[in-house]
Amino acid sequence: MIPARLVLAVQDSRYVEPLLNYLHGSSYGTALQVTAFTRTDSFLHYMEVGEVPNLVVGDTEMLESWLSQGETSVPWLLLSEGHSSSSLLEGGSSTFKYQPLPQLMEVIITHCKRSGGALEKLNVGTTSVIGIVSPLSGSGKSTIAMNMAKQLGVLGLKVFYLNLETVNSSALFSSGSVGMEGSFSRLLYDIKASQESASGNELSITPYIIRHHGLKCDSFEPSFNVKEITEMTMEDTALLLASLAACNSYDAIVVDTEGYMEERMQTVLEQAGVLIWVLLDDLMSMYKSGVWMDQLELKAPALFGSLKKRSRFIVNRYTGQLVNGFPRKDMSIDSVLPYIPSWKQLHREELLLSSPIYQREVLKLCQQLLEGTGIMPVHAGGGQ
């Protein structure tokens, strides 16, 4: 479990020290990473240049000094003595400063869980597009995408897995379909023809949809024509996504993207309701991720602002401890997926979709996406 980052800002050191001693000696110590301040200037400096926390917990004076600078994006919790300024009650929450420490810790933990950011989650009654993206090659992006499509199906959703890679990773897994070879090439032809037609003929994708027995969801038969995939434009990709959504047959479309910026990828960045960024805990991963974000912010600031609200950052192949920090303050870990040693020298591709440990963690991620949507999972257990 990744600990939540908490900033504690209380001027009274006689309050802070016992609280930290209790925290570090209890089970809460593994759930919270606390940075504490008793001086206002140090607290304000950290909030300006330090890592963005999940929650700020503070007394009236400290919070007022911070909030007066116009900061509202980080959730905060006021430690109230019962006579605090009422102006602080707008925009945040409060709890009693003096209460049993276990009770106070539970309040803090609850607020940390609520502060997952302004993620636009799955929408009830619509087809949600979930883009799986990564600035890295070999990050396990496709393994995550396929397992997520499978586990969303386990939860009772109607799912479509759309692979937009130049070389389709899902071709490793037999779809079980017969007579559909080359069908994706015909679909791409229809997509371009429908855009060029003066009569505006409606694109029908139903004849090209297959039931992928390995993924337990619908998909297209993989194409091995690299040239035609690379020639897909933003308009082609947008029409394909719109046509899938217009079927009204799916709760979610899981899109497995290319590992570098091109037109297919750009369309997914613009249109996906949720973006899952796959990272690894190594220097090169964090560096490339930071460069990607910097370039997006520089070249497309409007898109970048929207993208941040829709993004979740996932560390794949997590071994129990993070060594490398994130390259930007506005990037933080939302979830982790475990390292599976047996995959290192894998010779049976189906094992990538049947690890109980990995499936369990992907299932948790899927359940997090469903929280608060009104979509009720049909099954509670893991899939096979």
The residue segments making up the domain with residue 35 are 4-114
Angle at 240 between CA 238 and CA 245, to 5 degrees: 95
Average pLDDT across the chain, whole number:
82
Average pLDDT over residues 174-188: 77
pLDDT-derived band at 87 (thresholds 50, 70, 90) equals low
Select from 67, 91, 114 the last residue of a domain: 114
Q: What is the pTM of this model?
A: 0.68
pLDDT value of residue 346: 66
Average pLDDT over residues 57-83: 83
**Contact at 8 Å (CB) between 155 and 381?**
no
| CATH code for position 345 | 3.40.50.300
pLDDT value of residue 121: 44
pLDDT in tens, 245-268: 888 788 899 999 986 678 899 889
Q: Range with the lowest mean pLDDT among 52-61, 263-272, 287-296, 363-372?
A: 363-372
Which amino acid type is present at position 244?
L
pLDDT value of residue 117: 36
259 with 318, same domain: the answer is: yes
Angle at 87 between CA 83 and CA 93, to 5 degrees: 80
State the SS3 of 249-309. Answer: CCCEEEEECCCCCCHHHHHHHHHCCEEEEEEECCHHHHHHHHHHHHHHHHHCHHHHHHHHH
180 with 80, same domain: the answer is: no
pLDDT in tens, 98-127: 888 888 988 888 787 655 433 344 544 468
Residue that has been written with the tokens 């249109």 in this structure = 271
165 with 271, same domain: the answer is: yes
Q: Which residues is 7 bridged to in the sheet?
A: 35, 56
In a domain, 239, yes or no: yes
Distance of CA 70 to the CA centre of its chain: 27
